[in-house]
Structure 1
Amino acid sequence: MSHVPVDALFTPLGIAVLTVSDTRGFDEDGSGDLLVKRLNESGHVLVERRIVVDDTYQVRAVVSEWIARTDIHAILVNGGTGFTARDTTPEALIPLFDKAIEGYGELFRHYSLKTIGTATIQSRAVAGLANQTMVFAMPGSPKGCALAWDRIISLQLDARTRPCNFAAMVLPSVTPCSGRHAASFTSDLEPL
């Protein structure tokens, strides 16, 4: 594993937000609003925002369009990650991934266990890298979006996060990790 240099600088990323819902419009989209507010406060740039119905092919079409663009470095998808028949966001996204990020879903469920107990096993939060674009899917609730952004995504989209992050994978201008061996790095992060 490579590591981020100590002097790494913050680099704003272009981010798109997709809400998956059969019932919400922009006036009722508290989760989308929360994600837009958080990414702007973090210094990133909202490139585009849309709402689509819970339909595998409509979700996949929007995300496919966005991963083909060079100005979108990350996509935040909220909604459709539950366990009902209409929840098909993971099925829409997983075929697009060049590499899945299994640890994202594992970490999301770890954190949500403290809030919702064993109901966390019904969360199908997924993430992956698709055409050099990071894609993160999370529940459609504002609390779920806040947990995903605050505890996981914001840190991994920040080029300064050590020991490593995803910013260098999506922006060629970001200084790549230094390559120091993991044993030589002392982390100030709390263990799980």
Structure 2
Amino acid sequence: MSKIDESRPFLPVRIAVLTVSDTRSRDDDRSGDTLVARIEEAGHTLAARMILPDERTEIADQLRAWCADPEIDVILSTGGTGLTGRDVTVEAHRDVYEKEIDAFGTVFTLVSFNKIGTSAVQSRATGGVAGGTYLFALPGSPGACRDAWDEILRLQLDYRHRPCNFVEIMPRLDEHLRRK
């Protein structure tokens, strides 16, 4: 089973937070605030934060810009993962992904099911990799952000987590782009 190996050092990662909403501002971005608080409590660095409207092209462009920024290791977006016509965050993420982390959505659904039952089927949370950067699209509720962080990302973004974690393979995410 998974555990924290205290003999390994903690390695902070640089995380950007993108809130996708047509109505939220910094003053009432509870989901973004939830993620920022957890990132900082865990000892990671908040590298950037932004709010964008539910516009697929704008979201994808920002994701690409952050993926190209060497000061950002991970991007967490919140909002726009549902089923309504304005929910385009998942599509924007998939426009950017080089590889999708299929199991992220599955594990998120399992975590959600234990909290909200069959309502978990309405989320399309997703994860992927692009340009050596991890990207995760989370639902827009503070509870869903807490669940994703507390149950999945907190552990996978901790180098000490065993048997494996996202941090230890970070240096190899873009190996296909390097010369041989």
**TM-score > 0.5, shorter chain as reference:** yes
Aligned twin of 2:99: 99
Q: Match of 2:95, SS? A: helix
Aligned twin of 1:81: 81
**Which of structures 1 and 2 has the bigger CA Rg?**
1
Distance 1:127 1:58 in 2: 18
Distance 2:170 2:23 in 1: 33
Aligned twin of 1:16: 16
TM-score by length of 1: 0.84
Does 2:117 align with 1:117?
yes
Q: Match of 2:162, SS? A: coil
Q: Match of 1:90, SS? A: helix
Give the number of aligned pairs: 169
Q: Which protein is richer in helix relative to its size?
A: 2
Shift, 1:6, TM fit? 7.2
Distance 1:141 1:84 in 2: 15
Does 2:50 align with 1:64?
no
TM-score by length of 2: 0.90
Look up the equivalent residue of 1:17 and give its one-letter code.
V
CA contact (8 A) 1:19 1:79 kept: yes
Look up the equivalent residue of 2:95 and give its one-letter code.
P
Shift, 1:171, TM fit? 4.6
Aligned-residue Cα RMSD (Å) equals 1.5
Structure 2 runs not aligned, ≥5 long: 173-180
Distance 1:158 1:94 in 2: 25
Shift, 1:169, TM fit? 2.7
Shift, 1:97, TM fit? 1.2
Q: Match of 2:82, SS? A: coil
Aligned twin of 2:55: 55
User: Percent same amino acid among aligned pairs?
Assistant: 46
Deviating above 3 A after TM superposition, structure 1's stretches of 4 or more consecutive aligned residues are 4-7
CA contact (8 A) 1:73 1:171 kept: no
CA contact (8 A) 2:15 2:46 kept: yes
